[in-house]
Chains A and B, each alone.
Chain A
Amino acid sequence: MLRVDLQMAARSLAAHTRRNLFLGGALAAVTGLLVLLGALTSGMEAAMTESATTLMTGHVNVGGFYKITSASTAPLVSGYPKVLEEVERRVPELDYYTVRGRGWAKAVSESTSMDLVLAGVDVAREPAFRRVLRIVDGRLDELGRPGTVLLFEGQAERLKVKVNDVLTLSAPTDRGVNNTADVRVAAIARNVGLLSAFSAFIQADTLRQLYGLNVTTTGAIHLYLKDAARAPAVAARLRAELAAAGWRVMDPDAQPYWMKLMQTVPSEDWTGQKLDVTTAEDEMGQFKQFILALRVVAALLGIILMVVVVIGILNTLAIAVRERTREIGTLRAIGMQRGKVRWLILLETALLALSGTAAGALAATAIAAGLNALGIALPESMQIFLAQERLTFLLDPAAILSYVLFLSAVTVVASWFPARRAARLRPITAMHHVG
């Protein structure tokens, strides 16, 4: 029975090629648009989150500040092995951790100079590095040797250095005196948006020596959890437990560490060590805001599109039913029941909607894949906000399926009214209809 119905529906669809192509095309266009918009936002977000949580922050960070005097501040955790021990015991959710030095220096090459935010790393203990960093020259393992740095392409270009060239790092200390160190470029990695504009990696011991710090002092411990969503809960618990274990812990303040370093902590009265437990969300605050804004814009645009499209569908279907009044009248005359007519029209719409939206989704997927493959470079102003260099779409099958089903459902619901109207026609009037 269903097969016959389907056949009939398909035949009617095929019979009105122009109109159905029109409606199907509109549905396809809207689906495609929504899929592309969604893929763009999630592409940005995914790229941003992945590069940021590898390069800049863990899911949860145990960092802190050390104040030698009340008027100075350094982003340090002193006696970190003990902190680490405590953290490992208290966080069963932990997947792995990395220990990072935090610093800032002017890099001076033969021809020019630029400011770099330095992260001291032990590359052998950075499992995610290989996944996120695309090395274009040199070898990542070289960064394990003392006196080496990893730069991003843009930085290397600006400084005009190649792998194995030597840079001078000049780090101002609290005393206004610059500590300097000569370092060798171990590797050059592909840019990853804003994050790679001014941050670079340096071998951990070299950074420590640049600042004259002892071995038990570092910048922060990045914790990577098995489930990233647990980060806020873990951070809150860790804050309380570290405080209970005798450390001085700062109140939660959802700002990246460098904002605290420059703006708030230097004017606080205390001296000595305080720990600061933050989440990736805190450290990436400003990026997240931008993503949120982007999502709101996309959603708004989506809603306006939806409303306009639903009106359009209603209209088109009304035309479609009208055009076929005579045909429906004939069907009714030869004995088809009202419910059947309604069902047939709904079925037809559903078929049209499904094939239209599916075609749109497919086309959008193809376009997105094509654009991804082309690797279109974004203008710099976009790079800042999107944390990626190239236009990247992330196609999420679940999201695409939901768009397809949602739009189809809307279309079918919208066709309910014209279908009802068609079913109500008296055969005799319908058969006399022209149109």
Chain B
Amino acid sequence: MSARRDATRVLFRIAFRNLAASPVRTAILGAIVLVGSLIVVVGSSVLDSIDRGMRTSIQGSLGGHVQVYDARSEGALELYGGLRGESLLEPIEDFARVKEVLAQVPNVRQVVPMGIDQAMVATGTTFDSALERLRDDVRRMEAGDRGPERLRQYAARVAHVRRMVGLLGADLDQARAIADLESREIKSRAEEFAAVRRAASEEFWAEFEGDRYAGLEFLENRVAPVAMENAFTFIRYVGTDVDAFFRAFPLAEVNEGERIPSGQRGVLVGKQFAEEWLKLKNARRLDQIKDQRDRRGKRIEEEEELQRWVRENRSGVKEILLQLDPVAAEEVAAVLRRALGAGGEEGLDVLLQRLFATTDRDFDEKYRIFYDVVAPRIRLYKINVGDVITVKAPSKSGYFSAVNVKVYGFLEFRGIEKSGIAGMMSVMDLMSFRDLYGYLTREKAEEVRRLKEAMGAREVERDRAEAELFGAPAAAPAEARSAAIDERALVRSGGERAAGAQELGSRVYSQEEIEHGVALNAALILDDARPRAIRRTMTEVRAAIEGSGLGLKVVDWQEASGLVGQFVTLLRGVLFAAVLIFFAIALVVINNAMVMATLQRVKEIGTMRAIGAQRRFVVAMLLVEIAAVGLVFGLGGAALGGVAVGIIRALGGIPAVSDLLYFVFSGPALFPTLGRMPVATSLAIVLAVAILSALYPAWIAMKVTPVEAMATED
């Protein structure tokens, strides 16, 4: 026993002496091992953190742990949208059955119905909101409020609307330069042009005082639709059982406003979407500058992008000016004059330009002034909490359907607020989704087909097909509301819209009504969400589906995430390939170095053999040498990797420079963490490569015979 220990001690001593004797060689070997282990440690810790971020983002925002959708679907489910639009899914006709079957599977905590789609939203124009305010004044006056303050206000609002009508006239002239005056459309709009001309005339406003409601109606119905402004936007939404959705996705929270009340229709608009697409551009740019300054430590003086934003803000004040009636404009101007220390003669346009001409010195002050003074008096977002909006989408059968829903609040996913992928998502109630989706059950479709045949389907215009054929959507036949609507309905004044939605908006649907009907896919939330448990549950879910003949496809959250998931797989593939190539080369190089070293020591090895060292001893000696180098420098590399990770964290993480990265990192920056696993794996890999590459030289050493070796003279 002790002899063996002695031998081992000698073995180690010789091995370490050898390493110390040729420092250059040891350094070369060590450097290779060090770099290799550094790459593995940092790379795998970054990838691990990305994995974690992705999992948080997807599981917490939309994906759940497992997704099911109809197996007959042509496309695959892509929760975050595909290259050519939304996934082409066949609908699940009766979600309640799916829920009934899948809820029985052990480990399944919740089954959440979903339908993801895009829709167009009418946002209303500045002109619309000016008219709305005027109508409000008129209503109060007609109700008997004729105080001087009211009259002053009314006069200001009339002046505001008249100014806008005047501008509209100028706009129309502007349009002439590019419009095809011979086209069908322009001819049909001759009436509209006439209406604008009338609204701009003195007579019209003289008459207006006589019958204000009639005047307002004319303005709302005949003039407002002519206003050329981006009066619509697109939202991407998920129609779902809202209560179940919030239970299932803990990251989701309402940032402003409230949740959609149980069983009611409504929509929660994605906060990030609202910031990017619905907010007044100048305010948005101020936010962006603030964000860059506060979070990234950027300075306006140094960053070209920030300078561009300031420039754009200065040259974009008209949108604010147009929204202010003379009274409000004077109020704002007075405050700004004081705050900016300007002379009494400067107009509001100049004052606003001065307000937006921000520098690093006065940015915070001006930012505050904007939000304290200007923002409360203007429409900061095109859609506000409490508005009723018209949402319109091409339905399954090609015609457009529309619903009116109330905006209950803005939706945010905690931790990934700024992600353009999750944050763009809005949540809508399932009933409204079904109306927009306009799916016909098989019996209904068959009936339509027969009707079509009877009538000669080609003669029915697609836009009107539904209205002519049955006049009501299949999903909710009681409410004939999503029938093909006149295009104009989208730009109708707010008052009219609100009236239409009121009855439906306040209706409370029972859980049964919500669940018995169409959904496109369903998210399963599991109790135990470890990868292995997910796989096991997926097998069980498949079996349950098989048993009940539901015909559903089962995918895990990563597959359901579509392109986003593929991107991370790609990233992992690139890193893996890089590491593989590196180690392949390292293998060759270490091998070479060891062969070299062995040949150099042929004589020495021969001597050792001559004085009684066994072949095993020689081989063990070489392996101990390389293992020692591997271990020491591998650990060193891992430690360096740890330091690198620490430095990355200390410098504020790897910044998410794009929306995709924001989502992938599940936050504004990636903070890689050093897991025990990456360190252990990297050490194991490095040691394996090192020992593997020492095998050939060990074999050479083994074949050295004492006689041959001792004959050599070096």
Greatest chain B CB density within 10 A among A68, A106, A198, A208 is at A68
1/0 contact string of A60-84 vs chain B (CB within 8 Å): 0000001111111110101100000
Chain B residues 144 to 185 lying within 8 A of chain A, measured CB to CB, are 167, 171, 174-175, 177-181, 183, 185
1/0 contact string of A18-35 vs chain B (CB within 8 Å): 000000001000100100
Given known pairs A71-B229, A212-B185, A305-B585, the reply for A381 and B319 (CB within 8 Å) is no
| Stretch from A3-11, A141-149, A227-235, A309-317 contacting the other chain | A309-317
CB distance from A247 to the nearest CB of B (A): 14
CB distance from A428 to the nearest CB of B (A): 9
CB pair A309–B585 under 8 Å, yes or no, is yes
Pick from B84, B185, B599, B708: contact of A323, CB below 8 A: B599
Given known pairs A71-B126, A308-B32, the reply for A174 and B231 (CB within 8 Å) is yes
Contacts of A401 in B (CB 8 A): none
B712 within 8 A of A: yes
CB pair A215–B180 under 8 Å, yes or no, is yes
CB pair B312–A113 under 8 Å, yes or no, is no
CB pair A305–B581 under 8 Å, yes or no, is yes
Contacts of B490 in A (CB 8 A): 176-177
A319 within 8 A of B: yes
CB pair A177–B491 under 8 Å, yes or no, is yes
Closest to B173 in A: A68
B255 within 8 A of A: no
B282 within 8 A of A: yes
Docked Cα-Cα span, A379 to B228, in Å, equals 43
Closest to A177 in B: B487
CB distance from A329 to the nearest CB of B (A): 11
CB pair B120–A172 under 8 Å, yes or no, is yes
Closest to B462 in A: A168
Docked Cα-Cα span, A316 to B570, in Å, equals 36
- Count the B residues whose beta carbon is within 8 Å of the partner chain — how many? 79
| Stretch from B47-55, B514-522, B586-594, B684-692 contacting the other chain | B586-594
Docked Cα-Cα span, A172 to B120, in Å, equals 10
B654 within 8 A of A: no
CB pair B179–A70 under 8 Å, yes or no, is no
B294 within 8 A of A: no
Interface of chain A: mostly helix, strand, loop or mixed:
mixed
CB distance from B215 to the nearest CB of A (A): 22
CB distance from B169 to the nearest CB of A (A): 11
Pick from A66, A68, A197: contact of B84, CB below 8 A: A197
Docked Cα-Cα span, A62 to B714, in Å, equals 77
CB pair B574–A174 under 8 Å, yes or no, is no
1/0 contact string of B698-710 vs chain A (CB within 8 Å): 0000000000110
Chain A residues 238 to 279 lying within 8 A of chain B, measured CB to CB, are 253, 264, 266-273
Given known pairs A212-B185, A213-B180, A214-B178, the reply for A381 and B570 (CB within 8 Å) is yes
Pick from B85, B171, B316, B394: contact of A68, CB below 8 A: B171
Greatest chain B CB density within 10 A among A30, A72, A266, A318 is at A72
Chain A residues 368 to 399 lying within 8 A of chain B, measured CB to CB, are 379-384
CB distance from A308 to the nearest CB of B (A): 5
Docked Cα-Cα span, A63 to B6, in Å, equals 85
Contacts of B694 in A (CB 8 A): none
Pick from A170, A213, A315, A434: contact of B178, CB below 8 A: A213
Given known pairs A177-B487, A177-B488, A269-B317, the reply for A72 and B592 (CB within 8 Å) is no
A-B contact pairs, 10 of them (CB 8 A): A71-B230, A113-B398, A114-B84, A177-B225, A197-B83, A197-B84, A198-B83, A271-B171, A304-B582, A315-B593
20 extra A-B contacts, CB within 8 A, seeds A175-B227, A176-B122, A176-B490: A30-B585, A68-B228, A72-B230, A74-B178, A79-B177, A106-B394, A108-B398, A168-B462, A174-B228, A198-B83, A213-B180, A253-B308, A304-B35, A309-B589, A311-B28, A381-B569, A384-B83, A433-B712, A434-B711, A434-B713
